[in-house]
């Protein structure tokens, strides 16, 4: 029998496990994960009309998967997909993208390709997609000297307290990333999902406060992350991540961003890590230059294609 494509809401636990297994196969073959953290975190959930899971099966085996989110009426639907290495060359990716387009409300689709693959670029061009956003992964060794962090005047530092700081942090994050297509518009649920992950460590989640009108107010943060810790299985040594750095717009230009970045880098190094990564938009030239000054260099590229 030819492969079949099911369009589902919430996935069953066996389907979730099958998608995770598929992701591991693709990552081992390509050297990069085909799905973002956001998709993987929300994989067990869904079930509404705004998030759809597409599964391609053959004789009960999942050969390909796509995640479709149609919530953004301004930018259009977005999707990510993965095809098993052994099933490539059979037109499954093209068929999945065609089905994704049919599932969108208006025919607009933003398609992420993790890793700047020539094959993905060629398929996108053939199907009428344009390359319109590039995300850099940058890395730095933690075994080379790090500048000492110097706190801006009037600012204090503490770590995140689960059950206390979710709402205030979410409000600050959304102010800091009001114009960002992925990071802005978070709800408390987005934080709570990550608190359940094995990598979550509040001691690596730094908050900057300033006294305003007699009360302490969050003005910046650096949320760090560790890949490959004791609760995860990876084929590489543990690596740190500058997960999110944000500064209140009213505090821009006062040195909070570089200071908080260094605070997190020192913390990751003190935990015994030897390298660190981060993601930044190619178009954010100021941030790219800041990270380059801190010793980061480009390591990999993710590309968004739009139609």
What domains lie within the chain, and their CATH numbers? 4-128 (3.40.630.30), 139-306 (3.40.630.30)
Sign of CA dihedral 174, 179, 181, 183: negative
Given pLDDT bands bounded at 50, 70 and 90, which one contains residue 264?
very high
| Pairing between β-strand 215-227 and β-strand 205-212 as defined by DSSP bridges | antiparallel
Predicted local confidence at residue 48, as pLDDT: 59
Instruction: Collect all residues with Cβ–Cβ distance below 8 Å to 81 and sequence separation of at least 6.
Output: 34, 54, 64, 65, 66, 67, 93, 96, 97, 100, 111
Distance CA 109, CA 43 (A): 20
Instruction: Please say whether the beta carbons of 140 and 295 come within 8 A.
Output: yes
List pLDDT tens digits, range 85-137.
999 999 999 999 999 999 999 999 999 999 888 989 999 999 999 999 999 99
List pLDDT tens digits, range 7-59.
999 899 999 999 999 999 999 999 888 998 888 888 887 655 678 999 999 99
What beta strand segments (E) does the chain contain? Answer: 4-8, 51-58, 61-69, 77-83, 109-114, 130-141, 155-159, 205-212, 215-227, 239-247, 275-281, 297-306
């Amino acid at each position: 029998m030819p492969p079949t494509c099911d369009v589902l809401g919430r996935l069953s636990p066996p389907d979730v496990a099958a998608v995770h297994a598929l992701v591991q196969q693709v990552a081992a073959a390509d050297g990069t994960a085909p799905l973002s953290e956001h998709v993987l975190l929300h994989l067990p959930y869904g079930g509404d009309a705004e998030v759809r899971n597409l599964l391609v099966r053959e004789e009960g085996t999942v050969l390909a998967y796509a995640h479709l989110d149609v919530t953004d009426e301004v930018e259009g639907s977005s999707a990510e997909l993965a095809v098993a290495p052994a099933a490539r060359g059979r037109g499954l990716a093209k068929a999945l993208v065609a089905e994704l387009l049919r599932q969108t409300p208006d025919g607009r689709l933003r398609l992420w390709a993790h890793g700047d693959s020539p094959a993905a670029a060629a398929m996108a061009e053939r199907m009428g997609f344009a390359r319109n956003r590039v995300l850099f992964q940058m890395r730095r060794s933690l075994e080379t000297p790090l500048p000492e962090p110097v706190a801006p005047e009037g600012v204090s530092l503490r770590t995140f307290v689960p059950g206390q700081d979710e709402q205030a942090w979410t409000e600050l994050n959304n102010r800091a990333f009001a114009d960002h297509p992925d990071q802005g518009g978070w709800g408390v649920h987005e934080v709570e999902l990550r608190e359940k992950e094995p990598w979550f460590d509040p001691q690596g989640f730094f908050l900057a406060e300033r006294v305003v009108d007699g009360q302490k107010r969050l003005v910046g943060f650096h949320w760090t992350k560790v890949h490959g810790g004791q609760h995860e299985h990876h084929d590489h040594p543990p690596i740190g991540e500058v997960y999110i750095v944000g500064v209140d717009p009213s505090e821009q230009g006062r040195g909070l961003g570089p200071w908080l970045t260094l605070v997190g880098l020192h913390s990751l190094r003190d935990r015994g890590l030897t390298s660190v990564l981060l993601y930044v938009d190619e178009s954010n030239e100021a941030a790219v230059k800041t990270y380059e000054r801190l010793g980061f260099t480009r390591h990999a590229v993710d590309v968004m294609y739009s139609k």
